[in-house]
Structure formats: C-alpha cells, structure tokens
Amino acid sequence: MADALSTKGRHGLKGRVLQAAAALAAVALLGSCSVGVPDPDAPDTAPASRQPATPTVTPGHDAGAVAARNMPFSAGGTLGHGVPVHLSEGLADAPHWQQSGNNTGGVAHYRKDDGCVAAAKVRTRQWPLVSGGDRESTEKLFTYLDPAILPKYLKPASLRWGGEPGKPGPAVEVLALERAALPKGKAAILARVFGQAGSSVYVTVSCPSAPALAAARTDVARWLTVLPPSE
C-alpha cells in the first residue's frame, strides 16, 4: 500500500504534508500493532505542548470565544484564517501511559502498560485537502490514505478542545476509523482537517485487543487536547 500511496502522491495531491499523513495512518491500516512515522524532513509541524495555551484576541476575531465553545465540523469557519491548531502532550500524564521515543518528524509517541501505542501529530499547510466544509475535507484525507475508505465507514468521535486539564471542557468533533490489527489486535485513526486554519490533526492508536483499544480511546479523548489557535 505504501507504493500505491507514493504513486498517488506524485500524480494527485502533492506535498510532504500528505505523505506524512499517509505514513502515520498506514501503520494502522496495514494492521500493525506499532505506530511509526518516518518523516525526518518535515519542517511545517506545529509544536506540541503539555499545557493548553491561552488564546489571545485580535481585532475582528475573538479567538478566546472560539476556544470556549465546542468545535463541531459546522463551526470550522469560525477559526482564524491560516492560524494552526496545536496538540498537547497530555496523554503522557494519563495513568499507565508514558511518552516513548523521540518526536520523529514532530510526532508525539506514547505507550501504555498493556501494550497499546499511540501517535499524534498536527500538520500545517493543509490547503490541498480543503474541500467544502471540515467534514468533507476530513473525509478527503481518509480517502487519500486509502481510496477504499468510504465516508460511510467513518464514525463521529471527539477530542478535548482546549480547557483546563482534569476539568470538563469543550470538545472538537473528529472522524474515526477502526480496523483489525494483525495478528489479533485492533487499531483506530482519529482525524480532523481544519480548513479555515489550514491544518490537520490525526491520531493513531493500536492495541493488542478490542477491549484494550476501547479503553485507550477513552484515555485519548480525555487526556489528549487539541489546542485552539492562538493569535
């Protein structure tokens, strides 16, 4: 599948942004129980942070108000143009999780005591993926990764959208895909393209079993925070 993605990248959507996305998600799609993203020369990665940043307010756009509300797909247009989202590294603070390895290509890697692994990354300059609203753009990302992934296979999910760690806060809507992971595990990809911001978030989780994956996804939804754009 890697060759097919590479060929499609040369003749279709271009840029290392999309190639990096394909590399991250391909691991789960191919059924591996580990997540690796070989993307050594990708300079356009938004940095991760342990703590949510406090958005500032600029004339004409109230970033603070946007950060305080839920971010469904329909609200994507309220983001500032070209101002990227970010990701926290809060999953490293979750019980039984730890950050593992180096942040190769700007990807944060995590490992859980039960054998689950996760990887999370934000990419900027995602304009080639923008098609209609954020839901359509996110569907386009999954289709780019594998043309066999139809929108009907994608399920709604959510991650934290800013807020204070350990306290209830707003949520950001994403799309999720689950696949079997060989030899007997289970893997999931969660992604969102923010068309107005020109950035995307994607997370992969791979576990030895379906119950372990369900628990890991609960941890990800609680501890891994998408940080609203700060202007």
Q: What is the pLDDT of residues 66-81, one digit of tens each?
A: 888 999 999 999 999 9
Q: Domain locations in the chain?
A: 2-227
Query: CA distances (Å), 193 to each of 24, 115, 137, 159, 184, in order?
Result: 15, 29, 6, 13, 30
Ranges under pLDDT 50 in the chain: 1-43, 45-60
Per-residue pLDDT at 231: 62
Rg (CA), the chain: 16
pTM of the shown model: 0.75
Per-residue pLDDT at 101: 75
- Number of helices (H) and strands (E) in the chain: give both, helices first: 5, 10
Closest CA to 111 of 202, 180, 49, 36: 36
Say which amino acid occupies 56: T
Enumerate the β-bridge partners of residue 156.
Answer: 175
3-state helix, strand, coil in the chain (%, to 5): 30, 30, 40
Per-residue pLDDT at 116: 97
Per-residue pLDDT at 110: 97
Alpha helix positions (H), the chain: 2-11, 16-29, 63-68, 134-145, 210-223
Taking every pair of Cα atoms in the chain, the longest distance, rounded to a whole number of angstroms, is 54
